């Protein structure tokens, strides 16, 4: 889990040390969609840290989250540990109705409206000297590196465990398949031909949804949703789209691979994990 605080200054109390790297990133992006991993202060946040010596810290920008965290701080609560409001491994919620649909009446929901960004924060490990990007988000690699003043390293075997970094995550009930454009076109052609021939050994017996950006699929798909050309808009609607297709009862969701470029890293990461076995 990640400990959320109402202001950057409150985060330092949770860390064994507050390095210059963390200060630069917090100054650039907090409040905002960035989580920092730091060495945990002894005796603090043990449950939220999951037994690790490090802890995730974030200062969100949403006004409702800010109001909650400030009210907690006024009552002596220095931070709130909060996971995503979804069942483990499933699609993250971006509206209060998503949470209510997943948990029925078992949770009290604080409704702040739809999420502004749509995907989870970027996570940067600052606990070992150099910055390591553990999870991409709305912030691009270039933005983070510019603020950090040094390149981002890739995770290694010693990297701390962090939210949303399992190989399979963000998965709907329907089977997601992520394909390059040419492969998706060919798969749709085969699917349509098999459906027309009544070939039960193919996926044709399944109900198919397609989420694509560069072309309009032909007949065969029960549902077609267009992926926006703008990566920020695609991120904003990604999880809501996966949930809507799932709720429609399809058994297959075929997705066109987003284009290259770091602006698409967050969307690409979530889709790759949703499609993982």
Instruction: Check residue 226 and report its DSSP letter.
Output: E
b vs e for 206-234, b when ≥16 Cβ sit within 10 Å of the residue's Cβ? eebbbbbeeeebeebbeeebebeeebeeb
- Contact present, 110 and 66 (Cβ < 8 Å): no
Show the domain range for 29.
Answer: 2-84+120-148
In this prediction, residue 200 carries a pLDDT of 43
Q: Which of 48-57, 58-67, 157-166, 205-214 has the highest mean pLDDT?
A: 58-67
Per the domain annotation, does 105 fall within a domain?
no
Q: Are residues 51 and 130 in the same domain?
A: yes
- Of 131-140, 200-209, 244-253, 258-267, least confident by mean pLDDT is 200-209
Averaged pLDDT for residues 234-241:
97
Q: Are residues 140 and 6 in the same domain?
A: yes
In this prediction, residue 165 carries a pLDDT of 63
Q: Are residues 15 and 130 in the same domain?
A: yes
b vs e for 34-67, b when ≥16 Cβ sit within 10 Å of the residue's Cβ? bbbbbbbeeebbeebbeebebbbbbbbebeebbe
Per the domain annotation, does 209 fall within a domain?
yes
Predicted confidence (pLDDT) at residue 88 exceeds the cutoff of 70: yes
pLDDT digits (tens, 9 = 90+) for 109-159: 999 999 999 999 999 999 988 999 999 999 999 999 999 999 999 888 767
- Of 21-25, 154-158, 165-169, least confident by mean pLDDT is 165-169
pLDDT digits (tens, 9 = 90+) for 261-270: 999 999 999 9
Q: Are residues 140 and 189 in the same domain?
A: no
Task: Tell me how many domains the chain contains.
Answer: 2
In this prediction, residue 95 carries a pLDDT of 94
Q: What is the CATH number of the domain that holds 216?
A: 3.40.50
Looking at every residue in the chain, the average pLDDT score rounds to 90
In this prediction, residue 82 carries a pLDDT of 87
Q: Are residues 131 and 228 in the same domain?
A: no
């Amino acid at each position: 889990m990640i400990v959320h605080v109402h202001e950057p200054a409150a985060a330092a109390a949770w860390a064994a040390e507050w390095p210059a790297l963390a200060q630069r990133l917090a100054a650039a992006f907090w409040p905002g969609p960035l989580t920092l991993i730091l060495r945990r202060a002894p005796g603090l946040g043990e449950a939220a840290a999951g037994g690790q010596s490090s802890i995730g810290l974030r200062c969100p920008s949403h006004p409702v989250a800010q109001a909650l965290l400030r009210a907690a701080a006024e009552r002596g609560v220095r931070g709130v540990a909060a996971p995503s409001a979804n069942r483990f491994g499933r699609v993250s919620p971006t509206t209060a109705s998503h949470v209510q649909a997943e948990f029925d009446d078992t949770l009290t929901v604080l409704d702040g409206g739809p999420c502004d960004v749509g995907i989870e924060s970027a996570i940067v490990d600052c606990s070992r000297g150099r910055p390591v990007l553990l999870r991409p988000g709305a912030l691009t690699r270039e933005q983070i590196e510019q603020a950090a003043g040094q390149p981002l390293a890739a995770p290694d075997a010693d990297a701390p465990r962090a939210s949303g970094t399992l190989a399979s995550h963000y998965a709907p009930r329907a089977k997601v398949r992520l394909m390059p454009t040419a492969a998706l076109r060919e798969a749709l052609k085969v699917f349509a031909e098999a459906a027309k021939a009544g070939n039960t050994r193919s996926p044709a017996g399944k109900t198919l949804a397609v989420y694509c950006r560069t072309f309009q699929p032909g007949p065969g798909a029960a549902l077609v949703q267009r992926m926006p050309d703008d990566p920020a808009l695609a991120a904003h609607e990604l999880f809501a789209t996966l949930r809507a297709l799932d709720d429609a009862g399809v058994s297959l969701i075929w997705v066109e691979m987003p284009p290259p470029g770091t602006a698409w890293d967050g969307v690409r990461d979530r889709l790759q994990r949703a499609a993982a076995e």
